[in-house]
Structure 1
């Protein structure tokens, strides 16, 4: 899965540069305050614009991460990380900030990749691999790809993730050819019960049932649930079932 850069800051930066230059051209140098504001807007927009135009690549695959962004560049295998976590960023006005992908360095990770954060569950030193404000894909899409490829190394620690999956009717769209509804309903119900009331053994059993069903091939019907929507939901359920802190977060909420 290749992530694509969010172009929102690029548009805002261009507006700042154009607006600042326009004010300078129209107002001249006689109005000191307007000139100062215009120069500041143009400079700030230029800095953001340069940053937004720098090379960017972030791909999640079976073998690891392929990263090319400011401050981090290289191909990193999953075994080079002891753990990975998708965590809430610093709170903004009392609400969780933009999710960030953090990686706990393993022995094989190059020494120049320096830890600048902490794993949200156990406090181990971690590298901030990506702030999701930079990309267009949603946090749920990124979490699903990480759960699929990184396996047990990955934990989704975002607030309310488990709560959103527990006791909620997941509303799948029906398509002309999709997964058989009764089988998906059964898997989702058992996973939700395990998340809401089960211990570690029950959660592992529910996760194994989903994984085995997918490995064997989920049944397809002429009228069934959207394949893409179900795959994303099952990935998220597996990630939540594998998270040892899921019940703690659910209780706190």
Structure 2
């Protein structure tokens, strides 16, 4: 595994991710057990035969998935991907933006160039159509290692959109009513969480960044509307209040003039 240490920083090496095989031993055991039960169930009950077949099929599917070719390399020139459903070399300019969400999914918003990417996800902040590039829960490297590589090489396109662990102040989260149609819950929770974290623990730079993120998400077509989402009026009011608070706390409060 290539770590992002000082030597990597100096020489600009690529970072290759490795697929986690944590489920492989269990799949092998289930496959062996299923075959054994299947052999014993030939002259047994139909139910036992069906259960054994199901176990063998599921275990076999897990094994096939674990043994399929896999390659995911993050480097100065872009991403080199070889995994089920996605295969190719993608220069950074083929992405308008990349983001990592709370579920550990790395998504990319297609930009210019013949990337040939089929969108099947959404950007976690602004809801733009995106393609799921990788599920970080399926690789051995830690999310922080991946974040460091993407931050270094993506040319400012990458956003770590995971909600900070300390995103909620002592007063607790802001609650909204859920309706038939409303603002996408994930996008709203992330915006509110980042704003609250900046108010609770951030400095002027963090507060400006949180305010800019809210303004950017609301610009243009506005926040993504979902089938079941947060009440739009409540969210708009809360975001207005957060922007005002972030602006106020960004202004020096000690205006005392010397005697």
CA contact 1:6–1:135 (8 Å) conserved in 2: yes
CA deviations on 1:225-247 (whole Å, 9 max, x unpaired) are xxxxxxxxxxxxxxx99x946xx
CA contact 1:85–1:103 (8 Å) conserved in 2: yes
CA contact 1:195–1:203 (8 Å) conserved in 2: no
CA contact 2:24–2:62 (8 Å) conserved in 1: yes
How far 1:106 sits from its partner (Å)? 0.4
TM alignment of 1:11-160, pairs within 5 A: 11-89=25-103, 99-111=104-116, 113-160=117-164
Distance 1:109 1:102, change over 3 A: farther
Alignment partners' CA distance in 2, 1:10 and 1:19: 14
Alignment partners' CA distance in 2, 1:64 and 1:17: 39
Distance 1:195 1:79, change over 3 A: farther
Q: Secondary structure at the match of 1:137?
A: coil
Runs of 5+ consecutive residues of structure 1 not aligned to the other structure: 90-98, 165-191, 206-239
Matched residues, number? 173
Higher strand content, 1 or 2: 1
Q: Secondary structure at the match of 1:104?
A: strand
Alignment partners' CA distance in 2, 1:82 and 1:102: 11
Alignment partners' CA distance in 2, 1:194 and 1:13: 47
Alignment partners' CA distance in 1, 2:155 and 2:200: 18
State TM-score, norm by structure 2: 0.60
State TM-score, norm by structure 1: 0.61
Higher helix content, 1 or 2: 1
CA contact 1:84–1:103 (8 Å) conserved in 2: yes
Give the structure with higher Rg (CA).
2
Alignment partners' CA distance in 2, 1:142 and 1:133: 12
Q: Secondary structure at the match of 1:13?
A: helix
Runs of 5+ consecutive residues of structure 2 not aligned to the other structure: 1-14, 169-196, 215-238, 243-259
CA deviations on 1:4-43 (whole Å, 9 max, x unpaired) are 0110222222122111001122343322222211111001
How far 1:73 sits from its partner (Å)? 0.7
Cα RMSD (Å) of the superposition? 2.8
Alignment partners' CA distance in 1, 2:207 and 2:146: 22
Runs of 4+ in 1 over 4 A off after TM superposition: 161-164, 192-195
